[in-house]
Amino acid sequence: MKLASIAAQIDGQPMFKILEHAQQLEREGHDVIHFELGEPDFETPPHIVDGCIKALHLGNTHYAPASGIYPFKNSVANATERSRGFKPGLDQILVTPGANSVIYLALKCTLDPGDEVLIPDPGFPTYTTAILACSGNPVCVPLSAQSGFCMDACSVRSRVTEKTKAIILNSPSNPTGGLTKREDIQEIYQIAKEYDLLLISDEIYSRMVFDDHEFFSPSMLDNAAERVLVLNGFSKAFAMTGWRLGVAIGPTQLIKKMTLLNSTIVSCVPPFIQAAGIAAIEGPQDVASDMLEQYRQRSKILVEGLNLIPGIRCNMPAGAIYVFANISETGMTSVEFADDLLRSAKIAVTPGIFFGQQGEGYVRFSVVTSLERIQEAINRMRMRFHA
Ligand SMILES: Cc1ncc(COP(=O)(O)O)c(C=O)c1O
């Protein structure tokens, strides 16, 4: 059997390879501290689980409309009005199995072969793979540590060509926790308007912003009606990775086509999963804010601890669940550092190169383990690096 040539470019999510290696060590009896996956360690809050169970008992076990059930889309529209100041029409909303699939659906409905998409580097690896799977070309916009890993409008402008079709923005960002400033987002939006581009705004960490940092969405500039497509999901803020629940909000014409594609591939998102989504949005928000506070504290302790280790430097992230540490002064590449740390200290982290060329010299720590385990990891690293 001969696979399509495009199959050779499909790389998936490389951090799962680190998890496999770490689990192998655990099977051999080692105590591994996990920082490699962006997977919250908290359980899904009970009122969300109850929302789903109630829906199951009520018999909500059949096919649902391909774009999502009315009450859930209504909740999403109201939540958007509360958080972003505009209420999208229900025909601007598509419910998907996770935020990841929104990236693919949007690109598949937008790109012709050879079209270019500007993506952040370092950035979430799915962007590259999804663009390649849609026969497009990813064009990296380098983000620098000096600018807090924000996407800068001048770098975006200089990379637009007649082949450019879309820009992907991710703020707060995976892997850096960086937040792009309102002025830069406004300017990037203007560039998208000038060149008639789609602006895909990955806002999966929008509820996860620390201290007095300000989250800004480009959808506030066009009500997601013209060229901004917001993608959001429940995996991170509500600890719902396994539920596979995501949402796209965008221009009607695009959402309509994405809905048809979604119905072709997955038919619909189960209605009882969407009921859990309603419970998450409409229910008490203190559970999510408690988890956020814990991520903030963990990030702070980890950043302080890492900065005590010779050769490692890092700043406090503005949001999300990641600490992106500069390890270049250790003299190791990011892959060598991650291998060394796993072998010598049984600590699993993700090499920065997995997120793009600009990620070289860094490793990503996901703060998805308890403060005690973070402290234990710092102690192990201090021993390893003689601090
Ligand atoms: C930036 C970003 N976008 C999208 C996703 C996908 O999330 P989901 O679990 O909803 O598919 C992730 C998950 O790690 C992410 O970090």
CATH code where residue 79 lies = 3.40.640.10
Give me ligand 1 centre to Cα 292, in Å.
17
The answer to whether position 194 is within a domain reads yes
**241 Cα: distance to centroid of ligand 1 (angstroms):** 9
Last residue of a domain, one of 223, 255, 282: 282
Residue 30 corresponds to which tokens in the numbers above? Answer: 């080692």
Residue 51 lies in a domain: no
Which CATH number is 19's domain given? 3.90.1150.10
Taking the CA of residue 173 as reference, the ligand 1 atom at the shortest distance is: 1
Q: Taking the model in full, what pTM does it have?
A: 0.96
Helix (H, G, I), strand (E, B) or coil at 226: coil
Geometric angle at alpha carbon 181, from 179 and 144, rounded to 5°: 65
Per-residue confidence (pLDDT) for residue 8, from 0 to 100: 82
The pLDDT score that the predictor gives to residue 350 is 96
For residue 295, pLDDT over 90 is answered with yes
DSSP H stretches of helix in the chain: 15-27, 46-57, 70-84, 99-108, 126-133, 153-157, 182-194, 219-222, 252-265, 271-282, 286-306, 334-345, 371-384
Residue 292: Cβ within 10 Å count: 19
Average pLDDT over residues 288-308: 97
Q: Mind listing the pLDDT tens digit for each residue in 159-209?
A: 999 999 999 999 999 999 999 999 999 999 999 999 999 999 999 999 999
> Could you tell me if residue 128 is inside a domain?
yes
Does 79 share its domain with 180? yes
Share of the chain above pLDDT 90, in %: 92
Residue 125 CA to ligand 1 center (angstroms) comes to 10
Indicate if ligand 1 lies below 6 Å from the C-beta of 67.
no
Q: How far is CA 359 from the centre of its chain?
A: 16
pLDDT of residue 5: 83
Continuous segment of H or E residues that includes residue 96 = strand 93-96
Of 145, 140, 215, 153, the closest CA to residue 179 belongs to: 215
53 inside domain: no
Neighbours of 46 (CB within 10 A): 11
Which residues have a Cβ under 8 Å from the Cβ of 306 and sit 6 or more positions away?
Answer: 312, 313, 314, 323, 325, 365, 378, 381
pLDDT at 114 over 90: yes
Cα–Cα distance for residue pair 244/187, rounded to 1 Å = 33
The mean per-residue pLDDT over the stretch 20-26 comes to 92
**220 in the same domain as 145:** yes
Are residue 306 and residue 331 in the same domain, yes or no?
Answer: yes
Q: How far, in Å, from the CA of 379 to the mean position of ligand 1?
A: 31
Write out pLDDT tens, residues 265-274: 999 999 999 9
Q: How confident is the model at residue 16 (pLDDT cuts 50, 70, 90)?
A: confident
Q: pLDDT per residue over 322-350, tens digit each?
A: 999 999 999 999 999 999 999 999 999 99
| Phi (first) and psi of residue 100, to 5 degrees | -55, -45
pLDDT at 132: 95
189 vs 61: CA distance, rounded Å: 41
Q: Does the beta carbon of 99 sit less than 6 angstroms from any atom of ligand 1?
A: yes
Q: Whole domain around residue 93: which residue ranges?
A: 62-282
Confidence of residue 147 (pLDDT cuts 50, 70, 90): confident
Peptide bond into 172 cis (omega under 30): yes
Which pLDDT band, with edges at 50, 70 and 90, does 387 fall under?
Answer: confident
Q: 288 CB less than 6 Å from ligand 1? A: no
Q: Could you tell me if residue 121 is inside a domain?
A: yes
Residue 17 binned pLDDT confidence (cut-offs 50, 70, 90): confident
Statement to judge: residues 250 and 293 lie in one domain:
no
Residue nearest to atom 6 of ligand 1 (CA): 100
| Cβ 38 under 6 angstroms from ligand 1 | yes
Could you say which DSSP state residue 358 is in?
A: G
In a domain, 57, yes or no: no
Q: How confident is the model at residue 288 (pLDDT cuts 50, 70, 90)?
A: very high
- Hey, which of 95, 121, 236, 262 would you mutate to test ligand 1's pocket, going by the most ligand atoms within 8 Å of its Cβ? 236
Checking if the pLDDT of 317 tops 80, the result is yes
Residue 124 Cβ contacting ligand 1 at under 6 Å: yes
Residue 13 has pLDDT above 80, yes or no: no
Encode pLDDT of 366-383 as tens digits: 999 999 999 999 999 999
Of 240, 259, 282, the residue that ends a domain is 282
The mean per-residue pLDDT over the stretch 42-55 comes to 98
Task: Extract the tokens encoding 333.
Answer: 């590449």
55 domain-assigned: no
Distances 255 to 93, 200, 267 between C-alpha atoms, Å:
7, 13, 15
Number of domains in the chain: 2
Residues 149 and 237 in one domain: yes
Specify whether 275 is located in the same domain as 303: no
pLDDT, one tens digit per residue, over 244-278 is: 999 999 999 999 999 999 999 999 999 999 999 99
Edge-first strand order for the sheet with 322-326 is 322-326, 362-366, 350-351
Query: Is 372 within the bounds of a domain?
Result: yes
Lowest mean pLDDT among 9-18, 145-154, 223-232: 9-18
